[in-house]
Amino acid sequence: MVCDVVLSNPAVLILTGKGNKVRRVPLMKNTFTLLEHYILENSLDKLWKSDYPLFINKQRNKLTKEGVAYIISQYVSLARRISTIVPEKVMPHMFCHSKSMHLL
């Protein structure tokens, strides 16, 4: 939801996990800038749009996990045409692991 993105200082993303546990995840400067531009370009900065999904599909519905997996698979197919180093299967959760390993 748009309301889960807090762009004031410090910029955070509010995530609700298992058992309705709420976490505030800090946004990196580049991520903040990209999200800020995205929100402004899509006119999501209006107060009455705070309950809108942040990312939507072609039908203007909330982007699902399956939708994200499909988009990733399309980019993986394109990338594999250029380099076989790219794994055949890339799942969304792999990005979580790669980011956490990068932070170590």
Predicted TM-score (pTM) of the model is 0.71
Looking at the fold, whether 77 and 50 belong to one and the same domain comes out as no
Q: What is the pLDDT of residue 99?
A: 53
The domain tally of the chain equals 2
Residue 33's φ and ψ, nearest 5 degrees, are -60, -45
The answer to whether 73 and 90 have CB atoms below 8 angstroms apart is yes
Looking at the fold, whether 1 and 50 belong to one and the same domain comes out as yes
pLDDT of the chain, 104 residues: tens digit per residue:
888 888 888 889 888 888 889 988 888 888 899 999 998 998 888 888 888 888 889 898 999 989 989 998 899 899 999 988 888 888 877 777 555 444 44
Q: How far apart are CA 49 and CA 32, in angstroms?
A: 19
Looking at the fold, whether 36 and 86 belong to one and the same domain comes out as no
Looking at the fold, whether 70 and 51 belong to one and the same domain comes out as no
Domain that holds residue 93: 64-104
The owner of tokens 């546990």 is: 21
CA atoms within 13 A of residue 69's CA, in its CB half-sphere: 8
Looking at the fold, whether 49 and 26 belong to one and the same domain comes out as yes
